[in-house]
Amino acid sequence: MISLFHNGQIILESGVASNVCVICREGHIDYIGPMPSELPPQTELISLQGGYLAPGFVDIHVHGGRGHDFMDGTELAIREASRAHLQHGVTSLFPTCTTATHLQIMQMLRATKRVIEQRDAPDSNSKSHSDLPRIHGVHLYGPYFAEDKVGCHTKSGCRIPTVEEAVEYFATGIIKIATCAAELEGAADFYRMASRNGCLITCGHSNSSWGEMDAAFQLGMRHVDHFWCAMSSVVSLRPRFGFPMQASMAEYVLSNPEMSTEVIADGCHLSPELIRFAWQMKGCHRLCLVSDCNRALDMPSGRYAFGDQKDENWIYSDGTVGRTQEGGLASSVMALDSMVRNVATSTDIPLHEIIRMASLTPAERTGIATQVGSISVGKKADFVTLSNQLEVEHVYLSGRIVHKLDK
């Protein structure tokens, strides 16, 4: 199968290119350049009608969608939540845990593993799997959070890491991103294990100091979850350390060029100047856009469980963001396409850099960028086509259309 995308604006790593076309062959990107004078006779021509061709989005921090949380722990929930994000242009994702019991997390890991195996089986052309985004592995996010930074997660599901427990998680072979608060007893052993398993190691829901971050960095920690949310600040460290005041996770990430981080750019968590500041300080190679989206994506306003439905840990969606009963923020209800639009309309960050932060940068940080994350020759033909208003129109996986906007 050969297809040729033309008549639009191609969002490349280096910038937005007009007057070029993209040719895909057997599911991969084969050519980017001027329209060739001759084409193989069976080539399918796809006009972008002046809109954009962007790499499919990559979400490294996502909890659910369309009524399902990955922590519901069933194959149905994993598939449906993933599909919901595919329709928003996400072609690669990492289902993300919450705090929960050992058993609940094992169920989520096993169900995700089964879905990945079914999706990637060589004979899997069945309808139930062909419209799933690529699931590259799990983000083990909870349960190793600091109790004073637990956010909207259950406190009861929060604990310190032990080798015995974490060994079982890593033995599933599907954990690719591993979060642990750096100040917890047992964090060092956890980071060593995550490092041996080739994970992107991240520190989140943490009240750690510069010194604790630096010790974690020596063990391979390279990323911090949702910058400014559920993380330490100079002020939050005062009760732990007194005077002199201590530098926090924020100063550590901003000053260390190897560290990456992510922002929830839904317009509700962070103001435009904070997003622009994070980009200005870290650059588009070290800043990711994440959805941190809960199950209320594409659902009416109302009450939803955050994490496993059975835990009845209620949050409230007003259609723009999730909130706790006390009025605090409780993750987003939007997918990455909304984040991209929001950053594009509220900041002066160049479009190709915004797209990079939602595709190539998260792909690089998680080690999947040789296959996906940008429109480059040799990579998989995973695309999202966007209107001039950056609305998702079509989604392609391996050059095959898997979603089309109903107009």
Contacts with Zn ion by CB under 5 A lie at 292
State the nearest-atom distance from the C-beta of 96 to Zn ion, in Å: 6
How far apart are the C-alpha atoms of 402 and 91, rounded to whole Å? Answer: 10
Q: Residue 187 or 344: which CB sits closer to Zn ion?
A: 187
Q: Residue 4 or 264: which CB sits closer to Zn ion?
A: 264
User: Percentage helix, strand, coil, to 5, in the chain?
Assistant: 30, 25, 45
Q: Residue 212 or 292: which CB sits closer to Zn ion?
A: 292
3-state secondary structure 340-376: HHHHHHHCCCCHHHHHHHCCHHHHHHCCCCCCCCCCC
Q: Residue 46 or 181: which CB sits closer to Zn ion?
A: 181
Within 13 A of 346's CA, how many CA atoms are on the CB side?
18
Neighbours of 76 (CB within 10 A): 12
Q: Indicate the burial class of 303 (C-beta count within 10 angstroms; 0-12, 13-18, 19 or more).
A: exposed
| Among 184, 265, 182, residue whose Cα is nearest residue 229 | 265
Q: Residue 292 or 364: which CB sits closer to Zn ion?
A: 292
Cβ contact 215:182 at 8 Å: yes
Structure-token match 């690719």, residue found: 176
- Number of helical H runs and strand E runs in the chain: 12, 24
State the nearest-atom distance from the C-beta of 38 to Zn ion, in Å: 50
State the nearest-atom distance from the C-beta of 139 to Zn ion, in Å: 9
State the nearest-atom distance from the C-beta of 143 to Zn ion, in Å: 12
- Ranked by CB distance to Zn ion, the top (closest) residue is 292
State the nearest-atom distance from the C-beta of 365 to Zn ion, in Å: 16
State the nearest-atom distance from the C-beta of 39 to Zn ion, in Å: 46
Q: Residue 10 or 289: which CB sits closer to Zn ion?
A: 289
State the nearest-atom distance from the C-beta of 254 to Zn ion, in Å: 19
Q: Residue 54 or 177: which CB sits closer to Zn ion?
A: 177
Which distant-in-sequence residues (6+ apart) come within 8 Å of 15 by Cβ?
350, 352
Query: What is the number of residues in the chain?
Result: 407
